[in-house]
Structure 1
Amino acid sequence: MARPREFDRDAALQKAIDVFWAKGFAATSTDDLKDAMGIGRQSLYNAFGDKRQLYVEALRTYQRGTTSGHLRRLTDPASPIAGIEALLVGLIDEDDDRRLLGCMGVGSICEFGSTDPELASLREKIAPVLHEHLLARVEEGQRLGEIDSTINAGDAASFVQMTMTGLQTAARAGGSLDDLRKLARFSVDRLKTN
């Protein structure tokens, strides 16, 4: 009996992320996945379950990676306003092809809305973590005089999160690097002390 071909599960998962990110769930076929991942259909099922299970794992992995990147950009700069700007500008990929992908998480929201409890649960775990860190940076910026103290800090944190979604959607719609960066900086300027 032939021994099943071994493969790097993490590398195969990354390939699946790339396919789902570019095409979404519904437009991605099992053939698309197995071809991109370089594995056979049975290996795909044995390692990842069905297409839906693979999608959920891919989205969860994608969100963990992007969220850690978001938090790093937000918290690394000493200046809170610089951290918020780094967060927003950092969303905008310089590579045209990558930028056009937008965000897999936002794509999932566009495709499924709030109708899928499992996917909604993934979002519900991530959004509050980012909001908490944004709120802390806004409040810090207000204490330091970088951010307008008359702005409600919670509303400002929500504004930044909605701006992130808007930037990622605009990127997927073909927004240019310059236009998206201008929008990111315009949004940051709305928070600054006059």
Structure 2
Amino acid sequence: MARPREFDRDTALDKAMQVFWAKGFAATSTDDLIQAMGIGRQSVYNAFGDKKQLYMEALGAYQRRTVGGHLSRLNAPASPIQGISDLLIGLTSEEDARRALGCMGVGSVGEFGISDPALVEQRARIGTLLGTRIAERIREGQATGEILPDLDPAEIAGFIQMTMTGLQLAARAGASAADLTTLARFTIDRLRPA
């Protein structure tokens, strides 16, 4: 008879995610994961597979959580331009240690680029979901006169997503909350009619 698991899988996954987020895939050892997760080596393998499978699952959980937050900030205000502003400004944590982590998803791009087809596909799904909703909010803002009417919504959505990446990289490089917020506001101001 198989013994029941003696740990909470979601809690262990969250702890692994924190390690991968802080250190990246290559710099994270199996011992780092075992120590952080508080479970034995065999339990890690039985529950999550190898280190790469654990990373993929942790990254997926991270992306679902963060994209949920992005969409919530984007969708909450009635004003489309305010939603886009909330999306960008909401990326910046006031807490220095958390802000310095940047984005685990952006970190995976820096570490793997396009070398791993599964990661590329995972990022594309998330990016398309978010990009589509940003473009919809841009169209809404154009209809209400909040956003310049001659801008292409898909191009601006791509620009917003690249700005998000830049803000997260700058955060990882040590940019202050004030500097990141200034850059986010500068971006938003470029969308408004004069």
- Band the TM-score falls in, shorter-chain normalisation: over 0.9
- How far does the alpha carbon of each residue in 1:51-106 deviate from its partner, in whole angstroms, 9 at most, with x for none? 00000000111111111110110011000000000000011111100000000000
Of 150-159 and 80-89, more deviation after overlay is shown by 150-159
Uncovered stretches (5+) of structure 1, i.e. residues with no partner: none
**1:83-162 matches, cutoff 5 A:** 83-162=83-162
Identity %: 63
1:14 equivalent in alignment to 2:52: no
| 2-structure distance, mates of 1:188, 1:155 | 14
Report how far residue 48 of structure 1 moved: 0.5
SS in 1 for 2:171: helix
TM-score, normalization: structure 2?
0.97
Q: Distance in 2 between matches of 1:55 and 1:5?
A: 20
SS at match of 2:160: helix
Q: How large is the RMSD of aligned CA atoms in angstroms?
A: 1.4
Tell me which residue corresponds to 2:56.
56
State how many pairs are aligned: 194
Which residue does 1:182 correspond to in 2? 182
> Taking structure 1 as reference, are residues 5 and 128 closer, same or farther at Cα in structure 2, changes over 3 Å only?
closer
For 1:131 and 1:5, the matched residues in 2 are separated by 39
Shift of 1:124: 1.0
Pairwise CA distance, 1:11: 0.4
- Give the SS at the match of 1:109: helix
* Runs (5+) with no aligned partner, structure 2: none
Give the 3 Å change call, closer, same or farther, for CA 33–27 of structure 1 in structure 2: same
Deviation at 1:29, TM superposition (A): 0.2
Letter aligned with residue 109 of structure 1: V
| Separation of aligned partners in 2, 1:34 and 1:93 | 28
Give the direction of change, closer, same or farther, for the CA distance of 1:39–1:136 in structure 2 (3 Å limit): same
One-letter amino acid of the counterpart of residue 179, structure 2: D
TM-score, normalised to structure 1, is 0.97
Gap change, CA 1:81 and 1:30, over 3 Å in 2? same
Dislocated runs of 4+, deviation >4 Å: none
